[in-house]
Chain A
Amino acid sequence: MTEQTFNTDKGYIALLGWSLNAIEAADKFDRRYVVVAPDWAEAYCKEHDIPYVPWNFERLNDRSFEIAQTLKDMGVDVSIPLFEETVEWAGAINSVLMDSPRLFGQAMLLRDKALMKRRAQLGGIRVGIFEEAHDKEDVVRFLKRVNQTLLKLDGDPNDPIHLKAFDKAGCLGHRVIRTPDEVDTIPEEEFPVLMESHLDGWEFAVEAWVHNGKIAFLNISEYVTLGYSVFVPATPDLEKYRPQITAEIEKLIKTFDIEFGFVHPEYFVTSDGTMYFGEVAYRPPGFKVFELLERAYGFNAYQGLILSFDPKTTAEEIKAFFPKEVVDAKGYAGCFGVYPRRRVVSKLEMPEETENHEYFESHELTPPVEETVTKRTAFGTHWGLIYFFGEDPYVMRDLLKHQEELDFYV
């Protein structure tokens, strides 16, 4: 493409997984790139002259080394995982490209929620009570024990526990269990799972770009309601913890021995200001937080990703690229994930109050395909996102919260 202006003195990067936004960001940036994606992407890449190497990430076998060798032969310097499923691939590939076997072990740690909690604990990071469950019995026992610890009597309402799949992104497969009866609703195939005690606190996420083992840019994403809504930057109420949060992230970087790239951890902060580590991912966050950041700050978060992964990036480049947190933001960008509230829906109808709100930007909702809404058992797939942008974080927060009471599908 004639529009590309690649600097051959800089690194050559490989994007693992298919994300058009990431590809476009790379295409507009000054680093040479190649997309590594399953072969269904081939026709599209050919048609649009997108540099492409086919690879099937689902098939693991003794040929897996080939992709690392292919990329190495092409002169690629580093690979960047775009999805949870490509994190260990990136670890494996980068350990070859950079001749650093520990990167693969690091990736495995970052892929397994139980392992990552243990490692965090070892690094002196505070985590909640957690255990692995292999069957329903384990879940019941854990629920009882957690509530005993809390000195609950029989008949008192239980504190809930959280169940999460080991290796899935974000809220996928996340369940909340309050009573032993609810344990029966868990399908056998979901085991093994990670169980965690419920922390009464304020959950938030962090996106941190890391270069030379130091934080290049740290964003705090405020969840209004987990699984529903997020906005950046956070309200001053949460931003006031920034120094502590920064210290926590530095601890995390050290514990996990992260030299470069990007981490996306989740934390709870309790009413007394104690931080609890939830989990960490080594890939872009869901809920289009990258797009929100671009809206709020004007920098392309994917290009930031490329910079922070590229071993040939200089400290000056990093400094010039990233804005100053919070103060450089032009406003607050948030999004809301819509779940249908009714059991039977026939069409998409944006509430007028949402659509006419000054902060409302756009939505990605599509008309319903089926009339009956599948009962939601776990957190997970929303039907589309709605984007907002405005000047006041509190208006933003209340607006996002209010969306939960509206019907978008009727």
Chain B
Amino acid sequence: MSDSDAGGAVPAVNFDKLVQRLDEAIAALADSRPFAKAGKLPRLFDTARRVMLQPEGFAAVQARAEQLEMAGVFIGTDWAEPSILLPFLTTSALQSPNADTVVIESISELRLLAIARGEFLHPSMSAEQAHHYLTQVLAINLSLLFGEGGEAEREQGKLALISRGVIQHIAQEIGYEHVIDRLIDEIWRILQQRPIQVTSVRRMITQIALCRIDPAIDLGGAGQGAERLISSLYGPTQACREDPGIAVYEDRLLSMDTMALQSEATGFARAMHDTGLVSPYHAAFVRHILEKQDSLLTEALGLSSTGRDCLLCYKELVHALISAGVFPETAQGLYGLALLLERGILYQPPVAPALWRQVLLTTCPAARERIQLAYGYSPAPNAWLIQGVMNMLGQPLGVGQGNNPTCQSARALSMWAYNDPDYLLQMVAWAARDNEIIMHFEGKPVSSARSEGGVASEITLDLDPVSLVVVPHLDRIYAEMGRLCADRPGDPHKWVNPEFHGWSAGRGFAINVDVETGNLQDAEGFLRHFYASYHPFYNGNQPLIHPQPAGVAVTDSAARFIGWHAITILRAALDPEDVMRVYFFNPNNDSGQNWGGDIVVSTARNGERFGEASLPFEQFASRLYIYHYDPLERGEPADVDQDELQRVIDRIHNSWGRDRVPANTSLQAEPPPSDA
């Protein structure tokens, strides 16, 4: 503070008055007409900024979170809908030199804190979701929590006090000691699902690593569990334990004997299969042994006898894939390659030749541009695409939709990778080389190049390389198919799903929601038939043959309806506790969700394979609203236990079906369906 004489000495800030000014600014915004709100914001932002510069300021804003949102602070901004906020975007917002950006981001974080603490009952976000989000925000902004200020902060000047303060306030409220440990648990939980896209996981691990080596940061006892995560990225083996850099490591490789190389190979493989993460050193190592000691490849990929056989049969192809697609930047492809070999899909006649085409594929400018925008200029786009293909074929259940409303396209990619790999490779070739995919809808060709537009107005870049290139095409085709049956009565998925996903999607179609009214219809018949088709006890113990598209009504942890969502039913089987479960694939980036009313989707430890989500049969059935079946395989509908069906129906009525009970049994007014 300076010592000038503006009406005497510089007065200390009168906090009560300041907060009163904030309340006045909120009231002015709340009272204003929608067309004039923008004009009231500068005053509110500036006052909020000053409030947050005071020690008690964050708590004051947190306490007003609900009023702020109601007044319309977030209307028309990216912050309007908290459930779609992305934790990793907070970093750049908080480090922005623009005061308004920092302020609105901080207000939004404090709003989520109020939601997480149960102080603000938000209509579209639960306390758990908010808590979960804030944990990730803390993880990604660990440097603000503990670290020294960087260049970005210096540029910000006094604003950095707010960015730093808001993160520290959140950490204090949520509990410092839990932050790191919870974050580590969180990372492990996500990794257990073996996602293809690991960018954000890598970023979080990097943050933890930076905090741990920074002497200025005292983590106390926290963060011990991070060792394995950090080492799997930055030093999985003896020769790179201290993260020496690729160049130094390559020098060391030159002077290693066979024994040493052997131990490096097994070290890399162990780390990779432990975490699903691949270190850039691993890529350097594999490229090194490829020239003279390719016998070590089996160890370096950690292959079982199945994978090894496959490798030996298709050695040249594997070599070609590695030399064209595996670089330190694209190291993650090695994990895909290992799993791809283990799946034995190379033995399907068209797959190997299709991969040869992939190796030599010329990419069109549009595909190249998208890949370069997302991943940069090195290595070449084709290398990224090869990495993407290997990962998708190796981890078909690791596909994620990113921050896009394109669950159907992500589900289709996953289904083909799982079930029909050469078809997937065909799609990639068409999209990446020709910039056009043509599918057929009831005999009529549908071109992605001549469609009016997709479900998503714009496909974001937070996707794996294959999705990045193929999803824009699939999304447009999907939307076009929807338009082609727009004038048919009933739900368009009935016709679109089988045409879009392929012949193996069942031609029978069941839905328990009346599209006209949004009301439930024939819940019992719907469920009875579902049990008879999918439940091994009622379908003659027939395991599901092809993965089937299905639709679920997603609910939040308070069992409130959130939206319709596309998933794949993979199998129904008894889990280790002898509970009949449905195992399914959710194209959402993180399947572990709490759907309310004791329904918590499990992703591990209940017999799930990597990438699978599961629920007990009854719980799953209570969120299902669309499924496909084979009309010729009817099962035994009459055998299904009435009590069990009634329990499921009760669950529906207590969750997403609450306001959808038809009018003849309830007099409630009905909103129109908001089908996605």
- Using a CB–CB cutoff of 8 Å, the interface residues on chain A facing chain B are 1, 3, 20-21, 23-24, 27-28, 44, 47-48, 50, 349, 351-359, 361-364, 367, 387, 395, 398-399, 402-403, 405-406
Contact = CB atoms under 8 A, between A and B. Distances in A.
B33 A352 contact: no
A352 B149 CA distance: 21
B35 A399 contact: no
Contact of B35 (A48, A361, A405): A48
Q: Which of B7, B13, B34 has the most CB of A within 10 A?
A: B7
B47 A354 contact: no
A23 B35 contact: yes
Contacts of B42: 362-364
6 contacts: A1-B33, A3-B33, A24-B32, A356-B1, A362-B46, A363-B46
A3 B7 CA distance: 44
A355 B50 contact: yes
- The 10 nearest A-B residue pairs measured at CB: A48-B35, A24-B36, A362-B43, A402-B6, A395-B7, A353-B10, A362-B46, A356-B13, A399-B7, A358-B14
Contacts of A354: 6
Contacts of A24: 32-33, 35-36, 39
Nearest to A387: B43
Contact of B6 (A27, A50, A357, A387): A357
Contacts of A3: 33
A82 to B, nearest CB: 15
B664 interface: no
A158 B621 CA distance: 94
Q: Which of B4, B6, B21, B25 has the most CB of A within 10 A?
A: B6
Given A352-B2, A356-B12, A358-B14, A50 B7 contact: no
B5 A402 contact: yes
B220 interface: no
Given A3-B33, A23-B36, A24-B36, 16 more contacts: A23-B35, A24-B32, A44-B35, A352-B1, A352-B10, A353-B4, A356-B1, A357-B6, A357-B10, A358-B13, A358-B17, A362-B25, A362-B42, A363-B46, A399-B7, A402-B7
Contact of A20 (B10, B35, B157): B35
Q: Which of B1, B4, B14, B39 has the most CB of A within 10 A?
A: B4
Interface of B: 1-2, 4-7, 10-14, 17, 21, 25, 32-36, 39, 42-43, 46-47, 50, 98, 157
A353 B33 contact: no
Nearest to A398: B7
A48 B37 CA distance: 11
A35 to B, nearest CB: 11
B563 to A, nearest CB: 27
A224 B207 CA distance: 54
Given A353-B1, A362-B46, A21 B36 contact: yes
Contacts of B1: 352-353, 356
Nearest to A399: B7
Contacts of B46: 362-363
A245 B578 CA distance: 94
A358 B7 CA distance: 11
A50 B35 contact: yes
B39 A20 contact: yes
Nearest to B38: A20
A395 B5 CA distance: 11
Given A20-B35, A24-B33, A402 B4 contact: yes
A267 B12 CA distance: 38
B39 A21 contact: yes
A110 B348 CA distance: 91
Contacts of A359: 7
Contacts of B4: 353, 402, 405-406
B10 to A, nearest CB: 5
Contact of B21 (A27, A361, A363, A395): A361
Contacts of A406: 4
A359 B13 CA distance: 10
B430 to A, nearest CB: 41
A279 B4 CA distance: 37
Contacts of B43: 361-362, 387
Contacts of A352: 1-2, 10
Nearest to A348: B99
Contacts of B2: 351-353
A6 to B, nearest CB: 14
Nearest to B44: A362
A399 B9 CA distance: 11
Nearest to B155: A347
B143 to A, nearest CB: 24
A357 B7 contact: yes
A226 B34 CA distance: 35
A128 B424 CA distance: 88
A349 B157 contact: yes
A23 B10 CA distance: 39
A25 to B, nearest CB: 9
B612 to A, nearest CB: 47
A298 to B, nearest CB: 11
Nearest to B54: A356
A142 B43 CA distance: 46
Contacts of B7: 357, 359, 395, 398-399, 402
Nearest to B42: A364
A246 B157 CA distance: 50
A4 B103 CA distance: 32
A42 to B, nearest CB: 13
A361 B1 CA distance: 19
Contact of A399 (B6, B32, B34): B6
A357 B46 CA distance: 14
Contacts of B21: 361-362
Contacts of B50: 355
B95 to A, nearest CB: 16
Nearest to B11: A358
B50 to A, nearest CB: 6
Contacts of B35: 20, 23-24, 44, 47-48, 50
A48 B47 contact: no
Q: Which of A27, A354, A356, A357 has the most CB of B within 10 A?
A: A356
Nearest to B45: A362
B10 A362 contact: no
B39 A357 contact: no
Nearest to A403: B6
A267 to B, nearest CB: 27
Contacts of B11: 356-358
Contacts of A353: 1-2, 4, 6, 10
A398 B33 contact: no
Q: Which of B2, B17, B25, B46 has the most CB of A within 10 A?
A: B46
B16 to A, nearest CB: 11
Contacts of B5: 402
B33 A27 contact: yes
B165 to A, nearest CB: 16
Contacts of A398: 6-7
Nearest to B2: A353
A20 B12 CA distance: 36
Contacts of A395: 7
Given A354-B6, A402-B6, A362 B47 contact: yes
Nearest to B46: A362
Contacts of B13: 356, 358
B332 to A, nearest CB: 41
A209 B127 CA distance: 54
Contacts of A356: 1, 10-13
B529 to A, nearest CB: 46
Nearest to B157: A349
Nearest to A28: B33
Contact of A48 (B6, B17, B25, B34): B34
A405 B7 CA distance: 13
A132 to B, nearest CB: 39
A357 B10 CA distance: 7
